[in-house]
Structure formats: C-alpha cells, structure tokens
C-alpha cells in the first residue's frame, strides 16, 4: 500500500510539471485518486517543499509554481538511470533504515525530469531487472567492474548503440565481441548485460566484471 501511495504522489508531481494548469477533477482522474485524497497528497508535497497552488472544491484549479524549477535538481539520463537502479537495488535488499528519506529524495529528484528525459527514463525502467541475491560463490569473489568500461556500457545501453568489448570467459579465455545491450540484470552484487552477440549470432549474457575493455561504436545501432 505504501509503495502504491508513493507512486501516486510521484505521478501527481510529474503531471504538475508536464502541464501548467489542471482542474482538480482532471488531476484526480489522472492520478486515480479521489479529490479528497488529491488535496491530502498536495498538502504532503507542500510540507516537502513544493510550491503547489490550488483552490479547494471540485471546480478549483491546481498548478505548480514555476519558480520551483529553480530549486529542482537537473538530471542527465545517465544520472537518472543510476538513481533508478540504486533505488531498485535498495528496495530489493529490503533495507529498513533510511527508507523514508530514500523515497522522499527519489520523489524530489524525479520531479526534476520532464519531457524527453522522463520518457527515456520510463523506457529504461522496462529494461532493468533486479533479481535475487547472487550465490555465495559469486558474491564472495565478485570484483568491481572497471569504471572506464562502465561509462561506455552506460552510453551504449541508454543510446541503444553497439558496443565493442574484450570479454574474459569463465575459463579465462579472452575474446573480442560486438554486442547490442538490451537489458541489465542485477543479482547483487553481480551485474549482467543481456545482449545480442554478433560473434555468436545469438542472445547471450555477459558479466560486467569480465569486460576488460568497452567502446561505444558511434552510429551503429
């Protein structure tokens, strides 16, 4: 119930950023809540620092003060993706501490997205999967992937580009591959890329820590 309530508050905030003016009835229908619940959510958002102007009553109007934009956080698509994955991992791990603040911060950060970046983030969400914890044998020996590789992998994943990589197999054999990243899977702490592998002409899964070189192939999708 708490998750559904948080999602509705996020939807309310994003709707207010996407359009300058809403009637109360339109906004209640958009967020799938009653008018009474809508005003309660707006009061909660005001207490969190959002300047929402509204006239009570079924015919009243609602708007987000444009000046709130100067206090919002501008996110790049890569930063939004990192936020999304980090939040999803924390939720999956079921960490009890700081969960309330995490939800508040996530709401504030997502409020800074609108238009194309927001649509891109919505599409990326369908390509990120958080699974169960990795087996003990994997978790105990999982090294952190190379940062330079991660930057290129992020670029290819977000831009839907081909990626040239050097990959080390489980048997410690190196190979050069050209892959198309389609999805990310996390079995904490292990990260995987679900890709189309041009070398094998089939879909394969690659562990991020076994990628020793990665370069986006600009113009190839």
pLDDT digits (tens, 9 = 90+) for 116-134: 555 666 677 788 888 888 8
Confidence of residue 70 (pLDDT cuts 50, 70, 90): very low
What per-residue confidence (pLDDT) applies to 146? 80
Token look-up 């892959």 returns 179
Provide the 8-state DSSP code for 192.
E
This prediction has a pTM of 0.59
Q: In the predicted model, is pLDDT for residue 4 greater than 70?
A: no
- Cα distance between residue 28 and residue 31, in whole Å: 5
pLDDT digits (tens, 9 = 90+) for 180-192: 999 999 898 899 9
Beta-carbon count within 10 A of 99 CB: 13
Residue 81, sorted as left (phi over 0), alpha (psi -120 to 50) or beta, turns out to be alpha
Task: Name which residue leads in pLDDT, 204 or 46.
Answer: 204
What per-residue confidence (pLDDT) applies to 74? 60
Peptide bond into 189 cis (omega under 30): yes
**What average pLDDT does the chain have?**
79
What per-residue confidence (pLDDT) applies to 98? 56
Q: In the predicted model, is pLDDT for residue 69 greater than 50?
A: no
Cβ-based neighbours of 24, under 8 Å, separated by 6 or more: 35, 38, 39, 54, 55, 57, 58, 59, 60, 61, 62
């Amino acid at each position: 119930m708490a998750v559904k309530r948080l999602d509705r508050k996020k939807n309310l905030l994003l709707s207010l950023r996407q359009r300058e003016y809403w009637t109360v009835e339109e906004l209640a229908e958009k967020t799938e809540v009653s008018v009474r619940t809508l005003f309660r959510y707006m009061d909660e958002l005001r207490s969190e620092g959002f300047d929402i102007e509204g006239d009570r009553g079924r015919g009243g109007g609602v708007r987000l003060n444009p000046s709130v934009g100067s206090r919002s956080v501008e996110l790049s698509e890569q930063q939004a993706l990192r936020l999304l994955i980090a939040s999803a991992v924390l939720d999956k791990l079921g960490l009890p501490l700081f969960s309330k603040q995490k939800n508040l911060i996530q709401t504030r950060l997502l409020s800074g997205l609108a238009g194309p970046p927001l649509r891109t983030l919505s599409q990326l969400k369908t390509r990120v999967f958080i699974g169960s914890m990795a087996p003990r044998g994997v978790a105990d020996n999982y090294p952190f992937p190379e940062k330079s590789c991660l930057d290129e992998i992020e670029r290819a994943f977000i831009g839907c580009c081909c990626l040239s990589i050097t990959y080390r197999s489980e048997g410690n054999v190196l190979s050069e591959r050209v892959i198309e990243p389609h999805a990310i899977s996390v079995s904490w702490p292990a990260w995987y890329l679900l890709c189309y592998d041009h070398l094998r002409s089939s879909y394969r899964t690659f562990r991020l820590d076994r990628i020793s070189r990665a370069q986006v192939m600009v113009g190839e999708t």
